[in-house]
Amino acid sequence: MSTDNRPVAIEQAHPLFAAIVTGIDVGEQPTPETIDTVERAMAEYAVVCLRGSRPNDDQHLAFSRSFGPLELPPDLKISSMSFKPRIAPGLYDASNLDADGNIVGIDSTKRKYSKGNELFHTDSSFNDLPTKWSLLQAHIVPPVGGNTEFIDTRAVYDALSDEMKARVEGLTAEHNLWHSRERGGFTTVTEEMKKAMPAARHALVRTSANGRKTLYIGAHAASIVGMDAEEGRELLDELYAFATQPQFVYSHRWQDGDLVIWDNRCTLHRATAFEDQLYKRDMRRTTVNEYGEERSSQGAREKSAA
């Protein structure tokens, strides 16, 4: 499959990882050949920008479902966290806009909640099932700022000392959504919120799609299971500081229509600041799970508790 009859072209965007891909029309249902091309590119580069097409919400959803079952946005049913949707069901709204498409105010709950996204994290690591990929579509980009920065945690793991590799092997981290939100300045976390989205545990060292070892860390990682709280926090902070060094970071400058895919199992990412009271930034995201049925993490927890 191609865009405007052009062949698929892949250009590496950073010395360690990431690629810009042209010639794939996200607005069309992908063929087996296209699915294989994207899967192979993702295994190698971990972050892939598909450039040159402009899918609508339904096309975005259909393309994403070709690579795995969707992780659906949870309905927290928390009054202070209820954001009226303005986009298709199944999509996460990563914009600075309200339900009517206007810029949200500086003191809005949505804006305060979203500040946690400016810390390096991996999507949904606080869920019981680690997600496979996120696919973020740019509908409106600000003229200045608003880049998304990425880190390949395979490269980070490779750069660790042998001593640190031995230290982290076999450890399990507990990931908590509210930990990262509090670090980002969202301080109105209630017991109701914590009950709705409890923590989850995952191995600190994983194996990526191409067989390389990778660190599964980020802002949601709150503690190390079985380790003294202070000692575990110090270890996670040390790994975070090491991973976020400039040589590991790729900063993606968005173009209208870009669809950027990243592998949540072996990357970190964060939003960067822009004049969000002046410019609109309309970004819409799907997230696909590694396997299983299409469901929200909240729904799975409610089902298991029943």
Average pLDDT value for residue range 291-296: 88
pLDDT higher for 8 or 111? 8
Q: Is the pLDDT of residue 2 over 60?
A: no
Helices (H), the chain: 32-45, 57-65, 109-114, 153-159, 162-168, 177-183, 191-196, 229-243, 297-305
Answer yes or no: CATH 3.40.1260.10 is held by domain 9-305.
no
- Which residues lie below 8 Å from residue 205, measured CB to CB, with a gap of 6+? 157, 168, 169, 170, 171, 213, 214, 215, 216
pLDDT for the residue numbered 303: 45
pLDDT for the residue numbered 306: 41
Q: Mapped to the 3 state alphabet, what secondary structure does 79-96 carry?
A: HHHCCCCCCCCCCEECCC
Highest mean pLDDT among 43-57, 105-119, 174-188: 43-57
**pTM for the predicted model, two decimal places:** 0.89
Q: Assign 74 a pLDDT band (cuts: 50, 70, 90).
A: confident
Q: Assign 305 a pLDDT band (cuts: 50, 70, 90).
A: very low
Give how far Cα 9 sits from Cα of 23, 38, 50, 135, 286, Å: 6, 12, 10, 19, 24
pLDDT for the residue numbered 110: 81
Q: Is the pLDDT of residue 80 over 60?
A: no
Q: Assign 73 a pLDDT band (cuts: 50, 70, 90).
A: confident
Residue range 126-156, pLDDT digits in tens: 888 879 999 999 999 999 999 999 999 999 9
Tokens at 58, concatenated: 């339904």
Q: Is the pLDDT of residue 10 over 90?
A: yes
Q: Is the pLDDT of residue 241 over 90?
A: yes
Q: Assign 1 a pLDDT band (cuts: 50, 70, 90).
A: very low
pLDDT for the residue numbered 178: 59
The Cα–Cα gap between 200 and 24 comes to: 36
Element containing residue 175 per DSSP (H, E): strand 172-175
The Cα–Cα gap between 267 and 214 comes to: 8
| Residue ranges per structural domain of the chain | 9-305
Helix, strand, or coil (residue 156)? helix
30: DSSP letter: P
Average pLDDT value for residue range 170-181: 81
Residue range 177-205, pLDDT digits in tens: 756 666 655 566 566 666 666 778 999 99
Q: Assign 124 a pLDDT band (cuts: 50, 70, 90).
A: confident
Mean pLDDT rounded to a whole number for the chain: 88
Average pLDDT value for residue range 242-249: 98
Q: Is the pLDDT of residue 79 over 70?
A: no
Side chain identity, residue 141: V
Q: Identify the CA nearest to 54 among candidates 217, 259, 292.
A: 259
The Cα–Cα gap between 84 and 101 comes to: 11
Average pLDDT value for residue range 90-107: 93
- Which residues lie below 8 Å from residue 102, measured CB to CB, with a gap of 6+? none
Asked whether 142 and 275 are in contact (CB, 8 A), the reply is: yes
Q: Which residues face 134 on adjacent strands?
A: 262, 287
pLDDT for the residue numbered 198: 74
The Cα–Cα gap between 82 and 91 comes to: 15
